[in-house]
Structure 1
Amino acid sequence: MINVLCFGDSNTNGSNPAGGRHARDVRWPGRLQRLLGDDWYVIEEGLGGRTTVFDNPIEPHRNGLAALPGALITHRPLDYVILSLGTNDMKTMFQADARVIAAGIDMLVHEVKITDNRGAPTPRIVIVSPIYIKPGISTSGYIGFDERAVELSHRLAGEYRQVAEREGCLFLDAAQIAEASDLDKLHMDGENHARFATAMADLLRKDRTTGSRDARR
C-alpha cells in the first residue's frame, strides 16, 4: 500500500463555496483515492483556517507546524506527504509577504524530514502553491482577509517553487489547474476539486514510475 498524507486547509477539508462541506467523493482527496486505486491509501488531514506556522487567536488550533508532527506519527509509514497550505497566512493579522509564507512551508518540509517514518525512507514531499484568491474577498464574510490578499496570492508560486527545488520536493501550482468559486472567492467547487485531483494523481503516478525505474538501475 502506498500511503499519501494530504495535509492542508479548508480546500483540503472540502469547504463548499455554496455552504457546508463537499461530500467525500467530491473533495479532492476522495477523488484522488478513486483515481489512484486500491494500491494507494489517501489520508485526508484538512482543517479550515489552518496556517503554515502562525497562531490565530480568533481561530485556535490552526497552526500547521504544531499539528503536522502528530499527523506524521499517527499515519506512518508514509510514502508521500502533500503540503497544501498558505492561503490563511495571507490574512491581514499576520502581515506576511510571499517570502515569509514560503519560509513557513519550508519549516513544514523540515518537520517531515526530521520525523521518524517508522524505519521507512523519508516520504516524498509535494508542495502545493494555493489557488488564487479572487477580488471581493474582503466582503465575502471570511474574517481576516482584505483585498491585498488577492495580489499576494499571485506571488506565492515563485517562492514555493524555489523551496521545492532547494529541498528536492515535488511541486504543483494549483492556480494553473483550478480556481476559487465566484461565490466566496476562496474555495473550490466540485469541478475544480476534480481538476486538482486529476493533476495530483498524474504527478504522483509519474513520480512513482520514475522512482521505481531509478531504483532498478
Structure 2
Amino acid sequence: MRFVNNESTKNLIKILCYGDSNTWGYNPKDSSRFDESKRWTGILKKIFSNAVIIENGLNGRSILNINTCSNPHCALLTLRDDIKEFIPLDVIIFFLGINDAASTENSLKEIAEGMRKLIDISTEMHIEKNFKAPEIIIISPPEIDKTSDEAIFMELEINKVSALTEIFRTIATEMDVYFLDISKTVKTSSIDPFHLDEDGHKELSLKLAAFLKKTIVK
C-alpha cells in the first residue's frame, strides 16, 4: 500500500523500516512472500496503533553497489528517492548489510563506511527541509543458522556477516544513533542461512517493539 502524507497521519509517529529481503518478507521455504501478518513489519503495525509503520524492503538490496553497473538495489544510490515522499520521519530503521557481507566485492570497512553515509543522507534530507533529524536504529544481522546444506559451503561469508554486529555497534556509538543487537536472540532459517523464517520474523518484531518502547516510542 502506498503511503500518503495527509491530515490523518501528520500527528502519528512515522517509522520507516528500510531493508532487504528480510524486510520484504522473503520466505526461505518456497521463495514466496510472507503475509503481512507474518512479517516483522506487519506485526509491528499491530503493536503500535499510534504509529505509521512504512515498509520499504527489497529483495537483493545492499548498502553498497555490488555490481559494476548502476544498481537499483544499492541503498546509497536510491535512498534519497526511496524516502523523500515520507519525510518528515520520526524513526528510520536500517536492517541491511547481509547482501554486502555475503558478496566478495566489498570489505567490511567499505560496508561500514556505507552505513555511515546512509545515516548522513537520512539526517541531511530532513535538515535540508528544516525538519528535525529522525531517530535512527541500526539492526544487527541475526544469528546465522549453520545447519543447512548451503551454510556448509559459505563459512567465509557467514563469518563476514557475523562480524557486522560489532562494526554496526561501533558506528551507532560514534554517530549517536540507536543499535539493536539481535545476533544472539533472533536466528535465521535452518533452510537458508541468510533469511528469517516465520519464527524469526515474530521474534524480531517482539525484540524491536520492546526496544522502541524503551527508547523512542513512549
Scaled to the shorter chain, the TM-score interval is 0.7 to 0.9
Residue 16 of structure 2 contacts residue 89 of structure 2 at CA under 8 Å; is this kept in 1? yes
Q: CA deviation at 1:130?
A: 1.1
Q: Secondary structure of the equivalent of 2:216?
A: helix
The equivalent of 1:213 in structure 2 is: none
Aligned-partner SS, 1:195: helix
SS at match of 2:88: coil
SS at match of 1:175: coil
- What residue number does 1:168 align with? 176
Letter in 2 for 1:183: I
Matched, 1:112 2:112: no
| TM superposition shift of 1:209 | 5.5
* C-alpha distance 175-58 of structure 1, shift in aligned 2 (>3 A): farther
Distance 2:138 2:131 in 1: 21
Deviation at 1:68, TM superposition (A): 1.1
Q: What residue is the counterpart of 2:37 in the other structure?
A: 25
Q: Compute the TM-score of the two structures, normalised by the length of structure 1.
A: 0.86
Change beyond 3 A, Cα 1:94–1:138: farther
Alignment counterpart, residue 61 of structure 1, candidates 66, 72, 76: 72
Offset at 1:55?
A: 3.7
Q: Which amino acid aligns with 1:181?
A: S
CA displacement at 1:36 relative to structure 2 = 1.4
Letter in 2 for 1:153: V
Task: Give the one of 166, 189, 196 matched to 1:188.
Answer: 196
1:103 equivalent to 2:113? Answer yes
Do 1:12 and 1:84's aligned partners in 2 also have CA atoms closer than 8 Å? Answer: yes
Q: 2:47 aligns with which of 21, 35, 39?
A: 35
Q: Is the CA contact (8 Å cut-off) linking 2:16 and 2:91 kept in structure 1? A: yes
Structure 2 Cα separation of the partners of residues 53 and 111 of structure 1: 14
Query: Can you list the C-alpha shifts for 1:147-203, whole angstroms capped at 9, x where unaligned?
Result: 311111221111111110111111011222211101111111111111101111111
Question: For each residue in 1:46-97, what CA deviation from the matched residue of structure 2 results, as whole angstroms up to 9, or x when unmatched?
Answer: 0111111224359941101112111221111100000110000013331423
In terms of mean alpha carbon deviation, does 121-130 or 147-156 score higher? Answer: 147-156
Match of 1:215 in 2: none
| Structure 1 residues 132 and 104, CA gap change in structure 2 (3 angstroms) | farther
The answer as to whether partners of 1:54 and 1:94 remain within 8 angstroms in 2 is: no
Measure how far apart 1:116 and its partner are: 2.6
Q: How does 1:135-214 map to 2 (within 5 A)?
A: 135=146, 139=150, 146-208=154-216
> What count of residue pairs does the alignment treat as equivalent?
204
Secondary structure of 2:44's match? helix
CA distance in 2, matches of 1:183, 1:69: 34
SS of equivalent to 2:200: helix
Structure 2 counterpart of 1:13, which letter? Answer: W
User: In the alignment, which residue of structure 1 is the partner of 2:7?
Assistant: none
TM-score (norm 2): 0.85
Q: What runs of 5+ residues in structure 1 fail to find an aligned partner?
A: 211-217
Alpha-carbon distance in 1 for matches of 2:95, 2:80: 15
146 and 194 in structure 1: CA distance in 2 versus 1, 3 angstrom threshold: same
